[in-house]
Chain A
Amino acid sequence: MRFFRQDLHTLAGAYALDALEPGGELTRFNRHLSRCQSCASEVRGFREVATAMAFAATTEPPAEMRDQVLAAVARTRQLPPEIRTHVRPRRTWGAAPWIPWLSGAIATAGIVLAVLFGFAQAHTQQQLNQARAQNQALAAMQARIELELDAARAHDQALAAILSSPHAVYLSQRTTAGGVTGVVLDAATRQMIVTTAGLPALPAGKVYQMWLIGQVKIVSAGLLPPVKSGQTTPVIASGIVPGDKLGLTVEPAPGTAQPTTKPIVDLPLPV
């Protein structure tokens, strides 16, 4: 196993030069890269070498290319930004993709309703008042959505901060209920990202609750979001002290002060 990892690590050079053939090896290295901080920074350095090699090959392109590209640009729509998580894009980590969409839909609905209210206002004062009340409700709803969006962005930034920490380590453990818990632990800030795959979905009224199980006390580290298509989106838990283990139990919603069932995860957290 150790040999295998070492072997993967030496692929960093070939990878940075795009010299891995598509297939298993490339997929394995990509996966390795998302977990190996030192490999990622080595690849970044090698890519800069490749950049210098590209600049060294600078060749004046045919003159007509400039006009052609600029004309194509003028009629080509740009892609929207991705919500950044600093994780491979195929993973469904990070902010729920429906939030910006929903906020757009609500904004559109707001415009439509406002126009309708415009007609209503022309009729009676009573209807006007009603419309105002509804507009306010709508504005409040939009404000809530915006708050959610802000929270999602802040969550993303917090995830990115942990993932890009030089002290981040990746830990994982199978749960006794099936599936795997993955943790990115940043010992410097004593925070961690917790994510799971393959945990059984829970019936209504039950939640997965995380615990920091210390030698003297057990404190709640919050709830996992509900299992969706076999996964839970990443959550951040903080306040880890040396000797803590991550515990996971099934509890009645909305969580309990102390665990009431046997933990299905018991993962030491080296901080």
Chain B
Amino acid sequence: MNPNDSDASRFRSATADRRGERDLDDLLIHVARGDQAAFEALYDRMAGPVYGVIRRVLRDPSQSEEVAQEVLLEVWRTAARFDPAMGGAATWVTTIAHRRAIDRIRSTTAAAEREHKSADVSPPHDEVAEAVEASLDRERVRRCLESLTEIQRESITLAYYGGHSYRQVAELLQVGLGAIKTRIRDGLIRLRDCLGVS
């Protein structure tokens, strides 16, 4: 067994089978049929990552809470549109969360309220890790981010956690547009391999 296999299974265990409960995809399929108990179980597993990623992008706790609520309600409303062929339930939900956070910063009012400093490059250490799994994810992502070149790491964290467009990232890092596109893509390829994503 090569080390990548164990990494890959760790990734799956961290994102798909968290706390040994029913598979997230399966939960979401039940949610699509109007099963509120399934939604509660889904909430308990996804509210942390949803709120967390929105909070990283927006920073403001009350705005983040508002957007997180909208996202979780959107998950309930549109669960029937989830297509497992396009990726797992965890990815579907976190993609909605990140997009809604971005939508919020692109709306002008939020932009005015938002701090205009660059995002932290390292994942936060000041927040208490609630679940052991979360700190495991945090540790693995941190380790993998560290394996990138500085410009790859900065462009990916500024884009994802900072909610900046790649044009803004190019501006912030004083690097050409073409170079930033390539750095982001190369960095993601390395992260993908490091995290053992297929």
Contacts and interface: CB of A to CB of B under 8 A. Distances in A.
Instruction: Name the residue among B14, B86, B169 with the largest chain A CB count within 10 angstroms.
Output: B86
Interface residues of A, number: 51
Contact of A59 (B11, B52, B87, B186): B52
B73 A51 contact: no
B65 A62 contact: yes
A11 B94 CA distance: 20
A78 B32 contact: yes
Interface residues of B, number: 81
B39 A73 contact: yes
Nearest to B187: A13
Given A49-B188, A55-B134, A65 B181 contact: no
Interface string A48-71: 111111111111111001101110
Given A51-B94, A78-B79, A59 B55 contact: yes
B36 A73 contact: yes
A219 to B, nearest CB: 33
Contacts of B182: 10
B34 A50 contact: no
Interface stretch (A17-25, A91-99, A110-118): A17-25
Given A48-B197, A50-B95, 9 more contacts: A13-B188, A22-B106, A48-B192, A50-B91, A52-B14, A57-B56, A57-B124, A73-B72, A78-B78
Interface of B: 11, 14-15, 32, 34, 36, 39-40, 43, 47-53, 55-56, 61, 65, 68-69, 72-73, 76-81, 83, 85-88, 90-91, 94-95, 97-99, 102, 106, 123-124, 127-131, 133-134, 137-138, 140-142, 156, 159-161, 164-167, 169, 178, 180-182, 184-188, 191-192, 195, 197-198
